[in-house]
Amino acid sequence: MASIELDRVSKRYLENAYSVKDIDLKIDDGEFVIFLGPSGCGKSTTLRMIAGLESISSGELRIGGQNMTNVSPRDRNIAVVFQSYALYPHMTVFQNLAFGLKMRGVNSTEIQRKVQEVAELLGLVALLERKPGALSGGQRQRVALGRAIVREPQAFLLDEPLSNLDAQLRAEMRLELGRLHRRLGRTMIHVTHDQVEAMTMGDRICIMREGRLIQSGPPLDVYANPVDTFVARFLATPPMNLIGAHLQAEPGQAMSVKVDPQTRLYVPPRHYPAYQAHVGQPVILGVRAEDIYEKRLSPDWQPIKVEVTALEALGAENILTGQLGNLEIAARLDRRFLPKIGDVVELYVDTEPMHLFTPDTGRVIARPAL
């Protein structure tokens, strides 16, 4: 196992054109870290710099405490699994798994032992004599993982390995990768743009945007306490509702967020100290879809009226899109709640987990963490 440290690591292609800028990050031994972000945000470039497949323009990379900034990829003892399976089509599964060991001069007895162990770990024993063309997408992905595992590297780098799979296989492979990490106990970095993968697989999530690391932390902590509007919207489906509003004082030291002349939401008392300095100013109100309900189960939940513009019935739940004045909001509701398009319905907002952001920077106004 090995820790991985990036100390102000940057990748520059032109004089002032950075694809990755000043990444500071330490990944502990055995940690499973997810790099999440939209296409072009620099997550794969960062992974490739760790692997040695991209040069580092500035900064320092340390693996296991040793400076690896200019060390060749073959000497880093790191395995990379790519989006494409990159299997040799003319070789059997056994030969694909054994190829790297054979190139390193490992004797045939040891190759046989290691390949058998990995095949048992990944459920590939019955497939060892097949060629890649006779395998399903999930089986090919397991072979690609097995080829990395059989080398016994100190860390695994996974570059969107599930993106070519269908929805069911993706769900199955998410579980497989989690089990694999627990069995091997090795450091893993997984690159994805899929929020479900990010939330369910890793010990820690690192959200990137435009080449910079925006926020890092345990998935549920980042979800509950985003640092800005980008993280708030990106790490959710449907995205967090962001509503232009005005924070105002109310009688008795209370305060509310005024959305429009007919709609205001009172701020929970525990948030008063955090928001006091912003009373009288415009703000962006952030409310997640799952904090809006079709029934009032708490007297603290506050009503809003919306006109239904769309309803996605997903079986386990319904995603309602509605018009609140000039704004469009989304709510995750009970599957039995089935209003018609055009209906005006009363919904109830739990304001305890609400966020306020500053309109000019999009940064969150810090309040007590949930």
Each residue of 135-174: pLDDT tens digit? Answer: 988 888 889 888 888 888 899 999 988 887 778 878 888 8
Q: Nearest 5°: CA angle at 122, between 149 and 180?
A: 65
Q: Which residues contact 10 (CB under 8 A, 6 or more apart)?
A: 18, 20, 21, 22, 23, 56, 57, 58, 59
Asked whether the whole model's pTM tops 0.85, one would answer yes
Q: Distance between CA 291 and CA 329 in Å, rounded?
A: 12
Q: Which fold does the domain 241-357 belong to in CATH?
A: OB fold (Dihydrolipoamide Acetyltransferase, E2P) (2.40.50)
What fold does the segment set 4-234 form as a domain? Rossmann fold (3.40.50)
- Alpha carbon distance 40, 44 (integer Å): 8
247 forms beta bridges with 257
Q: pLDDT, tens digit, for every residue of 50-78?
A: 999 999 999 999 999 999 999 999 889 89
Cα(131)–Cα(89) distance, integer angstroms: 6
Q: Where are the domains of the chain?
A: 4-234, 241-357
Tell me: the pLDDT tens digits for 22-57? 999 999 999 999 999 999 999 999 999 999 999 999
Helices 108-122 and 167-184 pack at an angle, to 10 degrees, of 120
Q: Which two tokens stand for residue 261?
A: 């002349």
pLDDT at 1: 61
Percent of the chain with pLDDT over 90: 69
